[in-house]
Structure 1
Amino acid sequence: MRLSTKSRFAVTAMIDIALQGNAGPISLADIGMRHKISVSYLEQLFSRLRQSGLVESTRGPGGGYSLSRSSESISVADIIGAIEVHPHAPGKGEKAFPGQAGSGEWMTQELWAALNAKMVEHMQSISLRHLASEQRAKGVKIEARPAKRGVYSAPKSKPVYTTAPNSVFALGRSLLGSR
């Protein structure tokens, strides 16, 4: 299993969603702003996470992504497995290392396979809930932004009242009256 920047960002974004709890769908723009990840990059990651059944998407104003199941049932291995593309495993009759007979790589193949199995086993033992609770214990709090509800959701501005004269005549009267 490969560990890349994609995997790291995906785990970070999933922890962000888990920290929100049941606050509703979280927009990718909010996640990107908090963790300095571009929205287009997050869209690629969340496309794979959604295809793997780890997140659900909600469209429209106030939409975003939420976990498709409990954070306890999602492991780090699930997240990384959804993001990383696994290379083609050799099929029947194919050599594990074509064109490299005599290079000696076959001698360490079992070692790397065993290390990979241990790494996958360890990542399967770490749940998303565990990672989120570790962040809460460190004092990390993510403030939920209010959901946007339609086009006219902007607060109305209050009128501005001034005591300044509103015409040349009023200005003249105010200047004559101040002597």
Structure 2
Amino acid sequence: MKLTTKGRYAVNALLDLALHDDKKPVQLADVAERQNISLTYLEQLFSKLKRHRLVSSSRGPGGGYRLALGTEEISIAKIIYSVDETIDITRCHGKQNCQKDQRCLTHDLWMELNMHVSSFLNGITLFDLIQRNNVRHVAQKQDFAYVQMHRS
């Protein structure tokens, strides 16, 4: 399975947004800095996420981005698909032409694995991730580093 940085960054950025959405919009520059993602690249991703109605934005002073849905409504799979990523393990992308325009011996195995991965990612939401101790611990460390950087 190949999940590119586009999908990974989108998940990280929305999780960061969910963790910092204290009833006010979050600036994308802050997300970019905390997650070490290019602001320009993040803007492109958020354009797609907004188009798929996962985030909303407001302009002007105090503006930024917010989740458009509750954290329990946003699955990891939904985020990945929203930025035009696919979750596919097969070489043939499900077309059954993996080996000289023929179906390979292990096609069904990889298709079954696709279904399990897709089901797994559909079953995990941002809410689920926020509840994990390791996620909260990493977020606290990122926040501390962010505050330290802006004090100097």
Q: TM-score, normalised by structure 1?
A: 0.66
Contact 2:6/2:85 (8 A) holds in 1: no
Report what 1:110 is aligned to.
108
What count of residue pairs does the alignment treat as equivalent? 137
Report what 2:72 is aligned to.
72
CA RMSD of aligned residues (A): 2.7
Partner SS state of residue 140, structure 1: helix
CA distance in 2, matches of 1:70, 1:126: 13
The verdict on how the C-alpha distance between 1:12 and 1:98 changes in structure 2, with shifts beyond 3 A counting, is closer
CA distance in 1, matches of 2:121, 2:99: 33
* Cα deviation, residue 96, structure 1: 3.6
Who wins on radius of gyration, i.e. which is larger? 1
Q: Which 4+ runs in 1 deviate beyond 6 A?
A: none
* Cα deviation, residue 131, structure 1: 1.1
Gaps of 5+ in 1: 146-179
Higher normalized helix content (fraction of residues): 2
Instruction: Report matched runs for 1:1-179 at 5 Å.
Output: 2-86=2-86, 96-97=96-97, 100-101=100-101, 105-134=103-132, 135-136=135-136, 138=137, 140-141=139-140, 142=143
* Cα deviation, residue 24, structure 1: 1.1
Q: TM-score, normalised by structure 2?
A: 0.77
Equivalent position amino acid for 1:63 in 2: G
Q: Percent identity?
A: 39
* Cα deviation, residue 2, structure 1: 4.4
Superposed CA offset, 1:106-148 (max 9, x none): 3222111111110010111111012122222x263348x9xxx
